[in-house]
Amino acid sequence: MASISSTSDTSDTSKSNASTQFDSIVIGGGHNGLATATVLARNGQRVLVLEKNAYLGGMGGTREILKGCRNEVGASCLFPLSKEIKDYFQFEQHGVELIPLPVMAVNLTGKTGRPLIFYKNALKLALGVMKNFGPGAMLGFTRFIKFCDYPAQVLDRFTPRKAPRSLAELIAEAPTPEKRAQLELAFYGSAMDIIDKFFPDKVKHRELRSSMAFAAVQATFKGPYTKGSGMCLIYTMAQDGSEGLMQRVKGGIGKLSDSLADQIEALGGEVRRKQQVTKIIIENNKAIGVELKNGEQLFANTIISNLDKPATFNRLAADHPLEVEVQQQVDKFEHRGAYVHMLFKLSGLPNYGKHIDKLNRIPYAQFGGAMVIDPEESQRCYEQCKKGELPPSVPLAFQFPSLMDPTLAPEGFHIASAYGFYFPCDAEKSLRGKMRDQFGEMIMDHMELHMPGFKNLIVDKAIFSADHFATMEGATNGDWTHGLLHPDQMIGDRCLIEGTGHTTPIESLFLCGSSCHPGPGVTFLPGYNCAYEVMENISGMPVKADSKVTNKAGKTSGAAKPESAKHAA
């Protein structure tokens, strides 16, 4: 493939030729950007991926942060993938090794709480809930899962190639008044409105209530008693049948992105690291290229952004004003990162304390889970966070990845990570550095509560707030969700143009990241679906998966797209 030169030393004729040098340029080498590029490359497109960092995967990447370690700053476990995604990208056939987790998580509630163990084996999980929390809790858990089924089907997290519709439309089409009320509760109610129905006893059901409440707030800026937090709970509980099991990726979750990059390059595409895009070039309301930090300009028929909406339109396309209504739509999306992420290099693996000593005798129970607090306390933490103040407690998710994958740490060492909530991300910026360090001490204190001696094992550590993620990954306000899981910015309301999932008001400019349906998580669906929509744009007509179309340059290529609303069943 011929190289592209900066337009500063090319004539208009050269620029015209350069504009057809690539079929598509993808901005951002996160997992969704790479997914889009892989699909397009498989379908004969000349693809260029531009990543500003030296590593791929974005917030689903792996790199050395602590000396000699492979660290994940962002996503760490592989959650369910739809069958179509698994079959299409064939990660394991392309060098990715998946590690099953016999114990997917252990959730701990205070010094006196009973451990809630999530075994991979469904029977062991059920028996554990029955034994430790009683038949009432088991019945409540069963009914809770059943309650989530219908809203999860409406949320439709795992269906490829289908453009989403608005939540209001979907609720209005519920087949019965009872079903409609169920959806309104699930999506507009609070998480605790739902949890109270199935785990009403604050004493007997304490641990289950606390764990479900924590699950409801990790991807939203709400407390568990705040209206609209039910959406995040349903999103978390939505699973794709038997595929809803957590797994580790050997060598770190970034191996998934590395695998896609290898596939792209094997197909003749390019993946360039350390190439920061500073501007999308737009002429006559059509995206025709990008400008890099060094001033170089590159051109393509299609430009695809893996960034969130404000980062794309308010930063990269700032020179091209949108219509007022569209700009208001972009600006209304809420982006906040009320968390602190910590990485640790340890001289050994800590044991659980005496109050939960039995966990030390369960193989792999030290892998990870959550250290949660009562829902009422969680709500207080949220209220403090909203005021710009440090919360009284820090609920957190924790993990010791090297227990399952020793390749992540030097011999004789282990690595650990922790995500703590609610960090006051809206506090005065000049205060946030000190508050972040105080928050980090609170995270370590909570770890120490359940794992005495944890602090003494720390050889090295790193701490990141949302401010770091904003700088490192270009995410608006460090929001890893690319738009919080609030009911007014999910499903069809996550899109800019009705009936499409990824098209924007600027011709030939598409969005492929988690700002699109179905949202955050390492599912690859936003990127996969975007590529299909791009291919339809090229062909000018609806295209089924694996069919062939001829693009405007006369080249035959395979194509697929998410069905638009008018074609959806």
Domains in the chain, start-ordered, CATH in brackets? 7-62+254-331+481-559 (3.50.50.60), 98-119+336-474 (3.90.660), 121-244 (no CATH)
Q: What is the dihedral of CA 490, 170, 78, 254, to 10 degrees?
A: -40
Judge contact between 206 and 177, C-beta under 8 A: no
Find the mean pLDDT for residues 345-351.
98
pLDDT confidence of residue 541: 55
Q: What is the mean pLDDT of the chain?
A: 91
What distance lies between CA 224 and its chain's CA centroid?
20
- The candidate with the shortest Cα–Cα distance to 339, out of 394, 427, 419, 224, is 419
pLDDT above 90 coverage of the chain, percent: 86
Range in 15-29, 45-59, 372-386, 527-541 with the lowest mean pLDDT: 15-29
Structure tokens of 224? 């568990």
Range in 118-132, 229-243, 441-455, 502-516 with the lowest mean pLDDT: 229-243
Half-sphere exposure of 195 (CA within 13 A, CB side): 29
Does pLDDT of 531 surpass 60? yes
The SS3 assignment for 569 reads coil
pLDDT digits (tens, 9 = 90+) for 82-99: 999 999 999 999 999 999
Q: How many CB atoms lie within 10 A of CB 108?
A: 26
Place of tokens 């709480």: 113
Structure tokens of 105? 């998580």
pTM: 0.91
Does pLDDT of 183 surpass 70? yes
Find the mean pLDDT for residues 327-354.
97
Between CA 150 and CA 69 the distance in angstroms is: 43
Does pLDDT of 13 surpass 90? no
pLDDT digits (tens, 9 = 90+) for 404-460: 999 999 999 999 999 999 999 999 999 999 999 999 999 999 999 999 999 999 999
Does pLDDT of 15 surpass 80? no
pLDDT confidence of residue 122: 87
pLDDT confidence of residue 80: 81
Structure tokens of 44? 């004969």
The SS3 assignment for 119 reads strand
Judge contact between 237 and 214, C-beta under 8 A: no
pLDDT above 70 coverage of the chain, percent: 90
